[in-house]
Amino acid sequence: MKHFAREQQWADWLRAAMAGDQQAYQRFLVAVTPHLRAMARRRCDQFGAPKGEAEDVVQDVLLAIHLKRGTWDPSRPLGPWLTVVVRNKLIDSLRRRGRHVEVPIEDVAATLAEETGADTTDHMDAERLLEQLKDPQRDIVRSISLNGAGVRETAARLNMSEGAVRVTLHRALKALAAIYRSDMQ
Amino acid sequence: MKTDDLIRLMAEDAPVRFPLGRRVGLALGIGTVVAAVLLLATVGLRPNIAAALETLRVAFKVTLTLLLAVTAICLVLRVGRPDASLKPIGLCLLIPLALLILAMGLELTAVPSAEWSSRLVGVHAAFCVFCIPVLSLAPLFGLLAALKHGAPSNPGLAGASAGLAASAIAAAIYAWHCPDDSPLFVATWYGLAVCLVTATGYGVGRRMLRW
């Protein structure tokens, strides 16, 4: 019952996010992340891989959720969609790190339903990551993620339109996903 | 990069302007119009189309290709969603196949065996195998581009579905020009053209549609 209520809540947040509600999206991502982390850690522990590597996997999976959220049909339940995306990306991400894994779909569904505490470690060095982005993208990513500025503020500072900042940000996220993909091969 | 920073970044990019369904729908719409205009602007409809549609074989050919196109479209609308179940619609693809086999059986009993080979070869076999893939280019390209934004569980299957839908649309359009009406012809040459485009879609999809 509790699990069902949470899935409803996540679905509501993601639905609102897709319609443009940033705060709802932030809530959704913050809520999902500990579950992704628990899964990634459990897998990485099996191989004796460092915790930082699990965090890379978490970010890889988050980027996949972000870039593919348009494939979720908001009139359908979120659980099955999220479970499949997370599982596929988890396997893919671990495999690229040379870890051959089986991830039973029941495990993913169960971990998404579990309670988890929040704690973070980061691994992939932010500066090294940013170096691989081209210029307006790098500036915008640095401004928003590291300095905590919003799109409007960033646009004003860089003398760009808000629309242009949004488009560049979207491309930067795609580029980041590609960097994660190539970095691990 | 800290995960919280990444989340902040993603939150600023919250809205989805083009959900997958809209992209695939758009690709189907534009692709179909381009293919239809291409046919009308080049070879055109067959001259006696109204009368021809009243004959059983032509009516069957048009209905069958249309049925295949509709079924394949239903498949391709789902194939980019990771959580979609493809089995029911996949089984529906057996309906046009079964109809075609049935029609071939009827044709073989209705036509003396001496005429079988001339019915099968028809008059425009080579053009048919050329024309259907050409007409399917626009929908195929559009569908693959749309599915690039998808998250298919099986990228090869997604590409093949795009190829099947594109070539079925092309076949349903070409049927309005095609002067060869025997189900034996349709099964052989339409079938060959559809298989070629579907295989191409599979090959491209396997490489291009991974995510």
Domain ranges across chain A: 2-113, 126-183
DSSP B186: I
pLDDT (tens digit per residue) in A9-47: 999 999 999 999 999 999 999 999 999 998 888 888 877
Confidence at residue B136, expressed as pLDDT on a 0 to 100 scale: 98
Q: Give dist(CA A10, CA A18) in Å, integer.
A: 12
Q: Give dist(CA B163, CA B193) in Å, integer.
A: 11
Q: If you average pLDDT over residues A42-61, what whole number do you get? A: 82
Residue B34: CB atoms within 10 A of its CB come to 16
Confidence at residue A183, expressed as pLDDT on a 0 to 100 scale: 65
For residue A2, the distance in angstroms to the closest alpha carbon of chain B comes to 23
Q: Give dist(CA B138, CA B153) in Å, integer.
A: 24
For residue A161, the distance in angstroms to the closest alpha carbon of chain B comes to 15
Confidence at residue A120, expressed as pLDDT on a 0 to 100 scale: 53
Average pLDDT, chain A: 84
Q: Give dist(CA A67, CA B13) in Å, integer.
A: 10
Task: Work out the widest C-alpha separation in chain A, in whole angstroms.
Answer: 50
Q: Does domain A126-183 match CATH 3.40.50.300?
A: no
Q: Give dist(CA B64, CA B38) in Å, integer.
A: 21
Long-range CB pairs of B52-59 (<8 Å, 24+ gap) are B52/B181, B55/B181, B57/B181, B57/B182, B57/B183, B58/B181
Q: Give dist(CA A4, CA A12) in Å, integer.
A: 12
Residue B122: CB atoms within 10 A of its CB come to 20
Residue B59: CB atoms within 10 A of its CB come to 13
Chain B touched by A90 (CB under 8 Å):
no
In this prediction the pTM is 0.88
Chain B touched by A185 (CB under 8 Å):
no
Residues 153-172 of B with CB under 8 A from A: 153
Q: Give dist(CA A71, CA B151) in Å, integer.
A: 7
CA-nearest of A17, A32, A41 to A85 is A32
Q: Is pLDDT at A99 greater than 80 in this prediction?
A: no
Confidence at residue A96, expressed as pLDDT on a 0 to 100 scale: 79
Amino acid at B86: L
Chain A touched by B2 (CB under 8 Å):
yes
Question: Residues 6 or more apart from B99 whose CB is under 8 A from it?
Answer: B64, B67
pLDDT classification of A50: cutoffs 50, 70, 90: confident
- Its domain, for residue B67, covers 22-208
Q: If you average pLDDT over residues A160-166, what whole number do you get? A: 90
Q: Give dist(CA B165, CA B65) in Å, integer.
A: 11
Q: Is pLDDT at A122 greater than 60 in this prediction?
A: no
Q: Give dist(CA A108, CA A60) in Å, integer.
A: 16
- Asked if A59 and B6 come within 8 Å (Cβ–Cβ), the reply is yes
Residue ranges of chain B with per-residue pLDDT less than 50: none
For residue A46, the distance in angstroms to the closest alpha carbon of chain B comes to 22
Confidence at residue A123, expressed as pLDDT on a 0 to 100 scale: 55
Whether residue B8 lies inside any domain: the answer is no
For chain A, the C-alpha Rg in angstroms (whole number) is 17
- Cβ B99 vs Cβ B190: under 8 Å: no
Confidence at residue B211, expressed as pLDDT on a 0 to 100 scale: 87
Higher pLDDT, B162 or A1: B162
Nearest to A173 among B13, B20, B153 (CB): B13
Query: How far from B104 is each of B57, B98, B120, CA to CA, in Å?
Result: 11, 10, 10
Question: Picking from A96-105, A139-148, B10-19, which range would have the lowest pLDDT averaged per residue?
Answer: A96-105
Confidence at residue B101, expressed as pLDDT on a 0 to 100 scale: 97
DSSP A144: I
- Asked if A126 and B2 come within 8 Å (Cβ–Cβ), the reply is yes
Q: What are phi and psi of B62, to 5 degrees?
A: -65, -45
Query: Which tokens in the block code for residue B126?
Result: 């080579």
Amino acid at B49: I
Put residue A96 in one of left, alpha, beta given phi > 0 → left and psi -120 to 50 → alpha.
alpha
Whether residue B112 lies inside any domain: the answer is yes
- Asked if B6 and A63 come within 8 Å (Cβ–Cβ), the reply is yes
Query: How far from A36 is each of A3, A58, A123, B93, B109, CA to CA, in Å?
Result: 16, 6, 16, 38, 63
Chain B touched by A173 (CB under 8 Å):
yes
Higher pLDDT, A54 or A70: A70
Question: Picking from A50-64, A107-121, B1-15, B35-49, which range would have the lowest pLDDT averaged per residue?
Answer: A107-121
For CA atoms B171, B172, B173, B178, the dihedral sign is positive
Confidence at residue A116, expressed as pLDDT on a 0 to 100 scale: 63
Count of structural domains within chain B: 1
Chain B touched by A32 (CB under 8 Å):
no
For chain B, the C-alpha Rg in angstroms (whole number) is 20
CATH topology of domain A2-113: Rna Polymerase Sigma Factor; Chain: A (1.10.1740)
pLDDT classification of A134: cutoffs 50, 70, 90: confident
- Cβ A144 vs Cβ B16: under 8 Å: no
Q: Give dist(CA A66, CA A58) in Å, integer.
A: 12
For residue B56, the distance in angstroms to the closest alpha carbon of chain A comes to 41
Alpha helices in A48-161 (DSSP H): 51-68, 78-96, 105-113, 126-131, 135-141, 151-158
Q: Give dist(CA A177, CA A169) in Å, integer.
A: 12
CA-nearest of B70, B89, B69, B68 to B78 is B89
Higher pLDDT, A3 or B36: B36
pLDDT classification of A105: cutoffs 50, 70, 90: confident
Query: How far from A101 is each of A54, A87, A89, B57, B65, CA to CA, in Å?
Result: 14, 11, 12, 54, 44
- Chain B contact set for A34 (CB, 8 A): none
Confidence at residue B177, expressed as pLDDT on a 0 to 100 scale: 95
Q: Give dist(CA A169, CA A136) in Å, integer.
A: 9
